[in-house]
């Protein structure tokens, strides 16, 4: 499974193309698809990014919901109905659709932030504010991880 780490800031060119971080490209390339799947975040003014394999896992997780239930329909519509599979060009770039750029208010630079098994694309200043708020939340709530059952 892909592991997306670090923050990378890349420039969006006039044609709407951006280079995906080189360190991530191998994890985003499979026999089924070489590229990214982007969806507008339903929680933040950013884009959620996935490898195609992760999207397949998310589709399988939908089996936990009754088919045609209101919850299943809401999740499927939000996650899959707005998904954009974007293939890499020969230079490892994707072309960002205007609807996605508009959702995240991206115009010149794009911040790619790794979040483990997925990543997000942000307008850099908005990401900086978000990171500050998230860091404060971790500190306020003294959030920690449990590894192997130990805190």
Domains in the chain with CATH codes: 7-140 (3.40.1550.20)
Q: What integer pLDDT is reported at residue 2 of this predicted model?
A: 81
Closest-CA residue to 85 (of 76, 67, 97, 73): 97
Q: Convert the pLDDT of each residue in 120-147 to its tens digit.
A: 999 999 999 999 999 999 999 999 988 8
Q: Is 82's pLDDT higher than 80?
A: yes
150 confidence band (pLDDT: 50, 70, 90): low
151 confidence band (pLDDT: 50, 70, 90): low
Exposed / middle / buried, residue 115 (Cβ in 10 Å: 0-12, 13-18, 19+): exposed
What do you get for the CA distance between the two ends of the chain, in Å?
25
CA 15 to chain centre: 21
User: How many helices (H) and strands (E) would you count in the chain?
Assistant: 5, 8
Is the model's pTM score more than 0.85? yes
């Amino acid at each position: 499974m892909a592991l997306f780490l670090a923050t990378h800031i890349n420039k969006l060119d006039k044609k709407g193309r951006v280079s995906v971080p080189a360190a991530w490209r191998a994890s985003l390339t499979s026999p089924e698809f070489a590229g990214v799947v982007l969806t507008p975040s339903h929680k933040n003014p950013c884009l959620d990014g996935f490898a195609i394999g992760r999207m397949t896992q998310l589709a399988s997780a939908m089996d936990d919901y009754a088919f045609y239930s209101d919850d299943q329909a809401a999740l499927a519509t939000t996650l899959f109905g707005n998904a954009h599979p974007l293939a890499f060009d020969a230079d490892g770039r994707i072309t960002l659709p205007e609807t996605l750029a508009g959702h995240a208010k991206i115009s010149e630079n794009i911040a790619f932030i790794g979040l483990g098994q997925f990543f997000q694309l942000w307008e850099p200043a908005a990401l900086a504010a978000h990171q500050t708020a998230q860091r404060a939340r971790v500190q306020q709530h003294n959030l920690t991880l449990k590894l192997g059952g130990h805190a």
